[in-house]
Structure 1
Amino acid sequence: MRVIDGDTLDVGTTRVRLHGIDAPERDQPCTTLNGQNWGCGDWVTQQVRDLYQGAQARCEPVDRDRYGRVVARCYVGREDIGQRLVSDGLAFAYRKYSYDYDLEEKSAVVADRGIHGFTIQSPARYRLTRIRGRDAPDASCRIKGNISAKGARIYHMPGQKFYERTGIRPEHGERWFCSEAQARASGWRPAKR
């Protein structure tokens, strides 16, 4: 199995969206109690990779989503991956589609486990605000993460030479950052000018 993000896996040649959970998007920020933004979506993806990358998974299809992915409950051994991720505070119970992990989320919230120890917008709400426009989804997150024609991941700060003419295309993996530390931690380098 290969982990794509907090709720999406490649099992063999099949792209699988885990049923009943919604994890932060890879580019989604959280805010600490001190008001510091950080890349919790990247952090969640890495946590899920640490848990499951390369493991043998068994999946039970439930549906297909609008992107053509198989929506499934997946297991490693007897462990329900979705249940574990919600229990560990790495994903939300996706109540729009299922109440399977409702109690696990409530327990994680009470214990401030994982993402519940921070201020975070629901992934569904975050996706909606990201789709609405090409402007920064958060006025404090104005650093542009651009992918060059050669595939280099470069971030541009406001005021730099190419900042204004640099567009962000999330569908191509480009994104907004809230701090230089977040951009660097996500594997992006600063623009030279």
Structure 2
Amino acid sequence: MRISTTISRTLMVIAVVSGATSPATAASAVVRSGDTIQLGDSVFRLDGIDAPEVDQLCIDDHADSWNCGVEAREQLTRLIGGRSVRCDDLGPDKPLKTRRIGICTVDGDKMSLNQQVARAGFAVSADPAAKYRGKDDIAAARETLSGLWKGCFVAPGEFRTDKKDGVLLGASCRADRDREIRAALFPDAPAMPPGCSIKGKFAVRARVTGNIGIYHLQGCPSYPATTEPDRWFCSEDDARAAGFRRAFNCRAPKGK
């Protein structure tokens, strides 16, 4: 009995030290963006991929601007199809410690949502150290011109940092229309996506607190004055994950 107990305790210590994943209970999912879902009180970002932000614009194969961020969110919603989702918890997300990294699977599916989103062409590769390494699936989507790849876009990470001179991706990027394409991908006054009313502005003064911008909530004195936001966010968590802080004239909502 003592030997058995010692072995059992040793295995528990090894599991903790090795950072073994802990599966989350299957639950109904609320889709927050093309690579982020909420299960109960836990928010998971899909490991290994980076999908467009909800307010991000892309160019389609007819040279027209379209809200690829909203479409990516809808794509993930369709993949889930109202079924329960289970996520293996891989630990906290670096940009936002309250958010988790996960490999998530819909009940009844053999392929993870991470892989399905990559194969559908609605994401680029994220952290090279990710457990799910989607390079092959993303390369296949690029080869078949699936999803984003049939048009022209910038990587979500470059969109988040307002890198207007970043690399253009996709089959429809034209060197002779470079200036027009970049103007469409980074409009001066982007339209508000459905359900995303928080305004974000890039600001040098925000760097004092380690941020790249400031966000304004409805009801804040600064909200009406922010007539041309650079970004739109659906939640404060989304804004904080993107590197924005709340405007100092905004009172914290109850419970925050």
After superposition, the C-alpha distances for 1:141-169 in whole angstroms (9 at most, x for unaligned) are 2335464948xxxxxxxxxxx9x961426
The counterpart of 1:82, out of the listed 98, 114, 117, is 114
After superposition, the C-alpha distances for 1:109-154 in whole angstroms (9 at most, x for unaligned) are 0000111111010001111117xxxxxxx5442335464948xxxx
SS of the residue corresponding to residue 79 of structure 1 reads: coil
Q: Which has the larger radius of gyration?
A: 2
Is 1:23 the counterpart of 2:23? The answer is: no
| Structure 1 residues 113 and 144: alpha-carbon distance in aligned structure 2, compared to 1, 3 A threshold | closer
SS of the residue corresponding to residue 60 of structure 1 reads: strand
SS of the residue corresponding to residue 57 of structure 1 reads: strand
SS of the residue corresponding to residue 38 of structure 2 reads: strand
The counterpart of 2:99, out of the listed 48, 53, 69, is 69
Letter in 1 for 2:123: A
SS of the residue corresponding to residue 84 of structure 2 reads: coil
SS of the residue corresponding to residue 15 of structure 1 reads: strand
SS of the residue corresponding to residue 137 of structure 2 reads: helix
| Richer in strand (by share) | 1
Matched residues in 2 for 1:171 and 1:87: separation? 27
Deviation beyond 4 Å, 4+ runs, structure 1: 146-150, 171-174
SS of the residue corresponding to residue 71 of structure 1 reads: strand
Q: How far off is 1:96 after superposition?
A: 3.6
Q: TM-score, normalised by structure 2?
A: 0.54
Letter in 2 for 1:7: D
State how 1:42-191 maps to structure 2 within 5 Å: 42-65=70-93, 66-67=95-96, 68-76=98-106, 77=108, 78-98=110-130, 100-129=133-162, 139-140=183-184, 141-145=187-191, 147=197, 149=218, 166-168=227-229, 170=231, 172-173=233-234
Q: How far off is 1:47 after superposition?
A: 1.3
What runs of 5+ residues in structure 1 fail to find an aligned partner?
A: 131-137, 151-161, 175-193
Q: TM-score, normalised by structure 1?
A: 0.70
Aligned to 1:158: none
Aligned to 1:5: 33
| Structure 1 residues 13 and 142: alpha-carbon distance in aligned structure 2, compared to 1, 3 A threshold | same
Aligned residues: 155
Letter in 1 for 2:124: F
Aligned to 2:206: none
SS of the residue corresponding to residue 90 of structure 1 reads: coil
- Name the structure, 1 or 2, with higher relative contact order (CA <8 Å, separation 6+): 1
What runs of 5+ residues in structure 2 fail to find an aligned partner?
A: 1-28, 164-181, 198-216, 236-256
Matched residues in 1 for 2:218 and 2:160: separation? 25
Q: How far off is 1:97 after superposition?
A: 3.8
After superposition, the C-alpha distances for 1:90-113 in whole angstroms (9 at most, x for unaligned) are 222214443611100010000001
After superposition, the C-alpha distances for 1:31-55 in whole angstroms (9 at most, x for unaligned) are 1244321111111111111221532
Letter in 2 for 1:166: T
